[in-house]
């Protein structure tokens, strides 16, 4: 493994998730792998879980970590070629990435979709610039399109529940602002490549890119979406087409504790976090034994550790 950008970088997601769970059981066995090596984490957007879990994963492997909140602490980056840099941008991605590759053996980058232009977001220029110009392996800490460290942790969390042939529902949730599609795109891809039964429940118009959801069953009723589920993954997203639109008057789509009465009593509720209580998801569910959100967040350490371990074992 030389990069970790999406499920395409893993041949067998279930096997990789099982290996991640084995690593969780003996997290300090590979502390020698990171000796005298450094991981650079570059953030253009806020983070709690990704920042802390990836640092902890690196520590477990003996790696040093450098963090750059490049949007706040770095020089403003130019990502386009051929421009005369006479505006506010003072550093080009070509030099910035090449220098980071001199300081670090592996780089991770978080760069969200801006939801202004699908063409610009789908180019993922900062991520691609780091890959092209740094000369070192790059992992996604959430890109415009995918959040694979989260999806691997989600798959681990599902496997830990030891449910054979799980029925999964990805359920749209209300929000006050337009959010990117990276988490649902990625979750759908990982579930489908794992050959799990995936239903996506969302209001009409709250669609996702069919390239990432092909094989899922779409329904437009919350009740129908959850009725047979073993796992309900709650998440807001803005629409794919037209791009970046937010739904209106859709508060009834919030999953409430009373919605769980009469369905599978063993059902488990997931969310990648952060979650806005009582807007996206009923706080009573988060406080109940239905919720797996803390398990998911804990597994972020070991999804990152498995990816870093695999890359370290294949470094030149
Ligand atoms: N789920 C997740 O990626 O959390 P952060 O945005 O806090 O890193």
Distance 120 CA to ligand 1 centre (A): 23
Place of tokens 């806020």: 46
Predicted pLDDT of residue 207: 98
What average pLDDT does range 131-136 have in this prediction? 98
pLDDT at 266 over 80: yes
Q: Using CA atoms, how far apart are residues 316 and 314, in angstroms rounded to an integer?
A: 6
Q: Using CA atoms, how far apart are residues 156 and 150, in angstroms rounded to an integer?
A: 10
> Which of 108, 142, 237, when mutated, tests ligand 1's pocket best, judged by the most ligand atoms within 8 Å of its CB?
142
Q: Which of 32, 31, 54, 27 is nearest to 43 (CA)?
A: 54
What average pLDDT does range 18-40 have in this prediction? 98
Predicted pLDDT of residue 247: 84
pLDDT at 45 over 90: yes
What average pLDDT does range 12-30 have in this prediction? 98
What average pLDDT does range 285-306 have in this prediction? 98
pLDDT tens column, 210-236? 999 999 999 999 999 999 999 999 999
Closest atom of ligand 1 to CA, residue 46? 6
Closest atom of ligand 1 to CA, residue 141? 3
Q: Using CA atoms, how far apart are residues 180 and 123, in angstroms rounded to an integer?
A: 15
Q: Using CA atoms, how far apart are residues 160 and 154, in angstroms rounded to an integer?
A: 10
pLDDT at 316 over 90: no
Q: pLDDT class for 248, splitting at 50, 70, 90?
A: confident
Distance 108 CA to ligand 1 centre (A): 14
Percentage of the chain exceeding pLDDT 90: 98
pLDDT at 183 over 80: yes
What average pLDDT does range 185-207 have in this prediction? 98
Closest atom of ligand 1 to CA, residue 45? 6
What average pLDDT does range 62-68 have in this prediction? 98
pLDDT tens column, 78-96? 999 999 999 999 999 999 9
Distance 273 CA to ligand 1 centre (A): 6
Predicted pLDDT of residue 10: 98
Q: pLDDT class for 102, splitting at 50, 70, 90?
A: very high
Closest atom of ligand 1 to CA, residue 53? 8
What average pLDDT does range 266-273 have in this prediction? 98
275 C-beta closer than 6 A to ligand 1: no
Instruction: Give the pTM.
Output: 0.98
């Amino acid at each position: 493994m030389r990069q970790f950008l999406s499920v395409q970088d893993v041949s067998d997601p279930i096997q990789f998730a099982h290996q991640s769970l084995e690593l969780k059981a003996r997290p300090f066995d590979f502390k020698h792998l990171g000796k005298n090596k450094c991981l650079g984490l570059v953030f253009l957007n806020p983070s709690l879980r990704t920042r802390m879990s990836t640092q902890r994963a690196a520590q477990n492997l003996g790696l040093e970590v450098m963090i750059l909140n490049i949007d706040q602490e770095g020089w403003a980056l130019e990502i386009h070629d051929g421009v005369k840099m006479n505006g506010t941008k003072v550093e080009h991605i070509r030099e910035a990435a090449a220098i980071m590759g001199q300081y670090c053996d592996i780089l991770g980058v978080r760069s969200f979709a801006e939801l202004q232009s699908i063409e610009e977001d789908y180019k993922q220029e900062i991520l691609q610039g780091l890959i092209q110009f740094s000369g070192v392996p790059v992992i996604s800490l959430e890109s415009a399109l995918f959040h694979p460290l989260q999806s691997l942790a989600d798959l681990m969390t599902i496997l830990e529940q030891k449910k054979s042939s799980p029925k999964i529902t990805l359920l749209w949730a209300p929000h006050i602002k337009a959010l990117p599609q990276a988490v649902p795109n990625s979750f759908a891809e990982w579930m489908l490549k794992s050959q799990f039964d995936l239903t996506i429940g969302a209001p009409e118009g709250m669609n996702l890119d069919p390239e990432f959801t092909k094989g899922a069953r779409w329904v437009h009723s919350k009740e129908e979406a959850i009725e047979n589920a073993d796992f309900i993954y709650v998440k807001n997203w803005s629409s794919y087409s037209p791009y970046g639109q937010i739904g209106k008057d859709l508060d009834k789509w919030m999953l409430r504790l009373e919605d769980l009465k009469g369905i599978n009593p063993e059902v488990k509720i997931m969310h990648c976090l952060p979650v806005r209580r009582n807007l996206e998801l009923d706080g009573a569910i988060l406080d109940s034994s239905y919720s797996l959100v803390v398990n998911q967040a804990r597994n972020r350490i070991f999804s990152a550790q498995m990816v870093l371990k695999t890359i370290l074992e294949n470094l030149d």
